[in-house]
Amino acid sequence: MYKANDKRYEDMKYSRCGNSGLLLPKVSLGLWHNFGDTSQYSNMKELCFTAFDNGITHFDLANNYGPEPGSAEKNFGRILKEELYSYRDEMIISTKAGYLMWDGPYGDMGSRKYLIASLDRSLKRMGVDYVDIFYHHRPDPDTPLEETMGALDTAVKSGKALYAGLSNYNGERLEQATAILKDLKCPFIINQNRYSIFDRTIENNGLKATAARLNKGIIAFSPLAQGMLTDRYLNGIPKDSRIMTDGRFLKETAITKERLEQIGKLNEIAKGRNQTLAEMALSWVLKDGIVTSVLIGASKPSQILDNIKAVNNTQFTADELKAIDDISL
């Protein structure tokens, strides 16, 4: 039976999520990859244990994480029941709904029927009474925003979620959603969006600036650009890389000669900071305090141990920031 490390809170740093009372670890564990039915269960357990033993209290899921969709929640629920349940009150568990989960017109997007039904299924798969954060996973242009936000409000006020979140929204849509949720007195606290040195979308679509102005948190997914911002591709594509073993999200065509040159130059800056490229990439996302936490994925416990070192050095000089921009933009 798993027993958590008594010193698990000594080194991790935590940030307040917007102006809420919730603190999140600066590094959170995402279960997007490596927790589906094609992955080894014993490894899933070790990933969760390593994370929690080192102060990572936040475990991020979605209804469609797999493969198959739903399997990441099912497998995490088994780990929770068998090993981690005594620590439930020390954990932040989040899930989402917004992508296709079942056939017919009620298994996708942002309707009230879909969101509430999906959350019920997620709770059953994980064997929990509530999640700490429930997100709408993506904007739905065909459903009134009031309906979607009302469903999040219902989820919270029913006790099935403690906080509401939005994922993949832009700044304008965030502002509209915030106004609705404020009127409903719903504790909406966080945005989940892709953000990395190679992907500045939230800087360009107003999300980052709007979240800062409205005092809402941000948690960044794919901060390592699906592994490109690591040392794995400095010398070509390794046989055990995500490109070769999965290929759903990172394509071989993304590793161009120009991209490899960028990766090499960024790696030199990281060396000058006494960091690995992955550490620097995570530190960069956290540098200005607007992003509350970075979501890391891992296939090995050692990757978690390497990545959490990023919280110790998130300060950059103006020259370093300019050099990173000159290389990546």
In the chain, % of residues over pLDDT 90: 91
What confidence score (pLDDT) does residue 237 get? 74
Residue 12 burial (C-beta neighbours within 10 Å; 0-12, 13-18, 19+): middle
pTM of the predicted model, to two decimals?
A: 0.95
What is the pLDDT at residue 28?
A: 98
- Cα separation, 89 vs 233, in Å, equals 39
**What are the tens digits of pLDDT across the range 117-132?**
999 999 999 999 999 9
> What confidence tens digit (pLDDT) does each residue in 261-286 have?
999 999 999 999 999 999 999 999 99
Q: What is the pLDDT of residue 240?
A: 64
* Residue 233 maps to a domain: no
152 band by pLDDT with thresholds 50, 70 and 90: very high
- Is residue 132 in a domain? yes
195 three-state secondary structure:
coil
Tell me, what's the pLDDT at 223? 98
**pLDDT average, residue stretch 46-67:** 98
Q: What is the pLDDT at residue 253?
A: 72
Contacts of 184 (CB under 8 A, 6+ apart): 149, 150, 153
For residue 324, is it within any domain?
A: no
108-118 pLDDT, tens digit per residue, is 999 999 999 99
Q: Is residue 262 part of a domain?
A: no
Residue-wise pLDDT tens digits, 224-262 = 999 999 998 887 777 666 565 555 556 667 788 899 999
Residue 198 included in any domain: yes
pLDDT, average across residues 34-57: 98
Q: Residue 181's closest CA among 149, 158, 214? A: 149
Other Cβ atoms within 10 Å of 312 Cβ, number: 12
Mean pLDDT, residues 70-98 taken together: 98
Judged against a pLDDT cut of 60, whether residue 197 lies above it is answered with yes
How many other CB atoms sit within 10 Å of the CB of residue 177? 23
251 half-sphere exposure, CB direction, 13 A CA radius: 2
For residue 170, is pLDDT > 70? Answer: yes
CATH number, domain of 110, equals: 3.20.20.100
Task: Give the mean model confidence (pLDDT) for residues 33-58.
Answer: 98
Residue 252 lies in a domain: no
Asked if pLDDT for residue 100 goes beyond 70, the answer is yes
Instruction: Show Cβ contacts of residue 263 under 8 Å, excluding neighbours closer than 6 positions.
Output: 228, 229, 233, 234, 277
- Tell me whether residue 234 is in a domain: no
Which parts of 277-328 are beta strand (E)? 293-296
Instruction: Provide the domain count of the chain.
Output: 1
What value does the mean pLDDT take over residues 77-98? Answer: 98
Give the pLDDT band of residue 154 (cuts 50, 70, 90): very high
Asked if residue 124 belongs to a domain, the reply is yes
Structural domain including 207 reads 14-227+275-315
> What is the DSSP-derived secondary structure letter of residue 141?
T
